[in-house]
Amino acid sequence: MTGRLAAVIGSPIAHSLSPAIHRAAFDAAGIDWSYVAFDVADGEASSALSAMRTLGIAGLSVTMPHKAAVAELVDRLDPAARALQSVNTVSWDGDDLVGSSTDGAGFVASLADAGVSVAGARVAIIGAGGAARSLVVALAQAGSDDITVLNRSPDKAEQAAALVPVASPGVISDLDRADIVVNATSVGMGDDDGSPCEPERLHDGQVVADLVYHPLETRWLRAAAERGCRTVDGLGMLVHQAALQQRIWLGDDAVIDTVAMRTAAESALATRN
């Protein structure tokens, strides 16, 4: 497999770590693939997929605001993407474009990489947007049999929980019994030093994960660690969902160096900081 091109589409896209992460993986595997970022305006996803067909782009990563639109444009969807009606990966199967969602599975893989199993775990997810919904589906598939969704808008929590039978909308006190607590909101990102919940709700023995990766250690994660929680930062999900994209594009036997991918992401973040 030589001389192929993969890309990410989104808008804005200049902040994306995807080029650094994917190029590092290709380089580590000695594969002659290139990876670029295309700023594609909202509403122009159809043009991007037409270009993929015309130019023979081998793989596509999809980020906001195009995930839902691409789900409607591809020839077929994998089970996770079908459940979510959201796509973050496009690949080829013959002449067909296949839409996949690796976000949730990437999160589960990031926990496994940190030595955390979700099988049988009680998980509380703070947030009910696209990221939270992807976690609900993936966690259920990975064996969690008690998923609680907490959100300021109860109707959105109900919609997210309705994706799988083992999930339900919850209240703040449900954090007390959770084995794993996840921030699936943007609270704590960048200069925001807020917390998705009061750190006093967390306790020793819990695993606390944050999908925010800029900064790597949010104020919330820092407070959780001080309370004796085991913490998992958001960069792991980003790296592992990209690794799953690589496996879709390159094949199940592809050797994916997630250490090289994370190192490249951390380097890019340090430059941004």
**Domain segments of the chain: what residues?**
2-101+236-272, 104-233
Backbone angles phi, psi at 121, to 5 degrees: -80, 150
Kindly state the tokens that stand for 77.
């969807």
State the pTM of this model. 0.95
Residue 156 annotated to the active site = no
Confidence (pLDDT) at 3: 79
Confidence (pLDDT) at 273: 64
Catalytic, out of 67, 201, 240, 262: 67
Backbone angles phi, psi at 100, to 5 degrees: -130, 165
Topology classification of domain 104-233: Rossmann fold (3.40.50)
2 — pLDDT class (breaks 50, 70, 90): low
Q: Model confidence over 228-240: pLDDT tens digits?
A: 999 999 999 999 9
Is the bond preceding residue 196 a cis peptide, omega within 30 degrees? no
CATH number for the domain running over 2-101+236-272? 3.40.50.10860
Tokens 């929980």 belong to residue: 161
> Do the domains spanning 2-101+236-272 and 104-233 agree at the CATH topology level?
yes
